[in-house]
Amino acid sequence: MTQISAQPIDARDEFDVPPQRRPRHIAIIMDGNGRWAVERKLPRVAGHRAGARSVRDIVIECGKLGIKALTLYSFSVENWKRPATEVNALMSLYLEYLAKERQELVDNNVRFMQLGRRDGLPEKVLAEMDQTIGATRHCTGLTLALALNYGSRTEITDAMRAIAEKVKAGKLEVEAIGEETISDHLYTAGLPDPDLLIRTAGELRVSNYLLWQISYAEIHVSERYWPEFGVADLHAAIRDYAQRNRRFGAIDETNS
């Protein structure tokens, strides 16, 4: 795990990692919205709104770089424990983002999907989400997966229940269950596993995020709060990833 100190953002930053060295799938834990706001004596919702602007920039840049999938940890199953005023403000922000950015996603050939349980989400959010999923279904560029009402243990539990139902119905033999079976029943079915996990705000936890999928992901930690995380920081994370020697448990004979 590499922890990167905050560096000035240079708008002239040129990206120099060749396509074959870039991650296919980037997963991000967007942390620090509240702290960013508190340090500026602003309400926490102002931090979430500023964070939404960072989402837009990072989505567009990932599309330009040819990244296949971007998964953003937006709202966890544990986040329902936050004050009702903050939860309601977040749900309103999702409604606004989905409606406002829908055409932008289509114009940039970005396919949208949601990871997480639908139960518990407001009907208006589900409606906007479904409309965005439908509008971008034909897009063939970047896949933007929003982890909303998501928890990895919840995801694995749901997958196990679905597999058990198939066994119970005689549609699946126990002996046929393997890692691929489990992967195919997760919310991320059809997506490649993340190659790069980015966490902002200097935190060193994975926070119940994609626990099955990040088994071999490279981890990059940025000191920046999410509203401060920009294109140059994304480039720095990908450069860091490109320098890693990914052996997947094997031995690198060139350095042995």
| Catalytic, out of 31, 195, 233, 240 | 31
What is the band of 8 on the pLDDT scale with cuts at 50, 70, 90?
very low
From the CA atom positions of the chain, what is the Rg in Å? 19
Which has the higher per-residue pLDDT, 81 or 14? 81
Q: Is the pLDDT of residue 37 over 80?
A: yes
Distance CA 232, CA 234 (A): 5
pTM, two decimals, is 0.90
In DSSP terms, which residues pair with 104 in a beta bridge?
none
Active site residue 79: yes
pLDDT at position 254 is 56
Please answer whether residues 194 and 26 qualify as being in contact, where contact means their C-beta atoms are separated by less than 8 angstroms.
yes
Average pLDDT over residues 183-205: 97
Residues 131-181: pLDDT tens digits? Answer: 999 999 999 999 999 999 999 999 999 999 999 999 999 999 999 999 999
Residues 60-95: pLDDT tens digits? Answer: 999 999 999 999 999 999 999 999 999 999 999 999
Average pLDDT over residues 225-250: 90
- Counting residues of the chain whose pLDDT is more than 90, the rounded percentage is 89
pLDDT at position 255 is 55
Question: How many other CB atoms are there within 10 angstroms of residue 19's CB atom?
Answer: 8
pLDDT at position 155 is 98
Counts for the chain of helices (H) and strands (E), in that order: 7, 7
Q: Which of 1-10, 66-75, 203-212 has the lowest mean pLDDT?
A: 1-10
Domain 21-151+193-245: give its CATH superfamily: Decaprenyl diphosphate synthase-like (3.40.1180.10)
Please answer whether residues 230 and 54 qualify as being in contact, where contact means their C-beta atoms are separated by less than 8 angstroms.
yes
Distance CA 146, CA 62 (A): 14
| Catalytic, out of 16, 33, 79, 109 | 79
In DSSP terms, which residues pair with 224 in a beta bridge?
none
The phi, psi pair for 236, rounded to 5°, reads -60, -40
- Burial (Cβ within 10 Å: 0-12, 13-18, ≥19) of residue 176: exposed
Active site residue 208: no
pLDDT at position 7 is 43
